[in-house]
Amino acid sequence: MKVVGLDREDIKAGIADRSMLVIDVREPHEYAQGHIPGAVTHPLSTFDTKAVADLVAQDGRRPVFSCASGVRSVHALAAAQGAGIAIEEHYAGGFKDWYAAGEPVEA
């Protein structure tokens, strides 16, 4: 399994230049309480690799998994790669890092 951990500056740059699709794998209630602007929700508890593959193919941007602290996003990477989906990047600090730094949040 290949895992590339991105930091907050990487995520901010990818959002700013519209090259990155942030896929938030936290639970729906966590996502609803606040998420990285523009992130799409795809909870790990109901992770559907076909739906992720379709989303990535249709969107065209560079997919990056994000969760609360970088643990569930690695599990999502394992599931995606196991299904043959070429996703290797995740936000290592996750939403906790984003929020603690005072970055903008959507709810």
Query: Tens digit of pLDDT for each residue in 22-62?
Result: 999 999 999 999 999 999 999 999 999 999 999 999 999 99
Asked whether residue 107 is assigned to any structural domain, the reply reads no
How many domains are there within the chain? 1
Asked whether residue 15 is assigned to any structural domain, the reply reads yes
CA–CA dist 27, 98 (Å, integer): 17
Domain of 59 in residue numbering reads as 4-100
Amino acid identity at 17: D
CA–CA dist 106, 2 (Å, integer): 30
CA–CA dist 69, 85 (Å, integer): 22
Amino acid identity at 65: F
Average pLDDT (79-96) is: 97
CATH number reported for the structural domain that contains residue 23 in this entry? 3.40.250.10
The pTM score is 0.97
**pLDDT value of position 56:** 96
CA–CA dist 90, 7 (Å, integer): 9
Asked whether residue 106 is assigned to any structural domain, the reply reads no
Asked whether residue 9 is assigned to any structural domain, the reply reads yes
